Amino acid sequence: MRASQVEPLARVAFQGELGAFSEEAVQEFFAGAAEPLPRREFRDLGEAVLSGEADYGMLPIENTLAGSVLAAHDVLLASELTVVGEIIRPIRHCLLGLPSASLSHVRRALSHPVALAQCTRFLLAHPEIEAVAAYDTAGAAREVAGRADPTLAAIAGRNAGTRYGLAVLAEDVQDRADNQTRFLVVARPGSPPPPRPRGGRPKTALAVETENRPGALVHVLLPFADRGINLTKLESRPGAEPWTYRFFLEFQADASEPAAQSALEEIGRRAARVRVLGSFPSWEEA
């Protein structure tokens, strides 16, 4: 009788330290069958995936309060990464400090700038607390845990506090209870799609560069409207030359559908460059 073979865990790179919200997204999307690989910067994440060191990457692309995560867009637009999935996660921030500390002690709060932007009301209500940018939420928690300073705290998730032995000094410090972040799962070109137990309507991500002339963007967008294809996101980022721009788009259709194919062919004739980043099922809760 042959012993059953155990499927290897998917290696998934994410930006930040263990305990970050991105790691939580990795575990949920892959149903716990993943090996999270922390990386300091988004570009390090992209390099890990493209080099084969990681099978996939988990990129936070936008937040309902802070908006787009621009560094994540730049990694997508400047590399050959493809998009193979998405997940939307609720984000609940806590003020984390040493077990001996209290809210009245805190004078500085460390966190990622995107996280700080989600907690403006709390910070305005506590002007004695200085917001200090850090490279990651869980990384901020780890730093606080390593320093015996009751005036120092981190804004991060409860899981990060548990991992690094910190106390919750204030919970739900985000501006709204419905705070959420959408993550994109990225891979090398030609990689098989990750296992996906459920999924909604297909979506496609697209990178477009336009000519520097009046109406260039309008002419790129019209083929979608003419065919009844709904655009769900449009983000402008600087191009390779001064005062030129690249656009990240998402629309509700698979790139292989006839209407989408027709639109993409027309856009290809109108734009300077077009690259389909990938089609994938939209996230739906179980």
Of the candidates 27, 43, 24, the one whose C-alpha atom is nearest the C-alpha of residue 35 is 27
Q: Beta-strand (E) ranges in 42-166?
A: 56-63, 67-68, 82-90, 94-97, 108-111, 130-133, 152-156
Beta strands 67-68 and 56-63: pairing type?
antiparallel
Q: For residue 23, give every residue at least 6 positions away whose Cβ sits within 8 Å of its Cβ, in sequence order, or none.
A: 14, 16, 36, 38, 138
Q: Are strands 273-281 and 202-209 parallel, antiparallel or unpaired?
A: antiparallel
* 232 catalytic residue (yes or no): no
Strands 130-133 vs 108-111: parallel, antiparallel or unpaired: parallel
**Catalytic annotation on 183?**
yes
Distance of CA 243 to the CA centre of its chain: 26
Of 120, 114, 111, 103, the residue nearest 176 (C-alpha): 120
Measured between alpha carbons, how far is 97 from 282 in angstroms, rounded to an integer?
Answer: 37
Check: CB of residue 120 under 8 Å from CB of residue 184: no
Query: 181, 224, 247, 280: which one is catalytic?
Result: 181
> Which position among 14, 21, 183, 248 bears the catalytic label?
183
- Positions annotated as catalytic residues are 181, 183
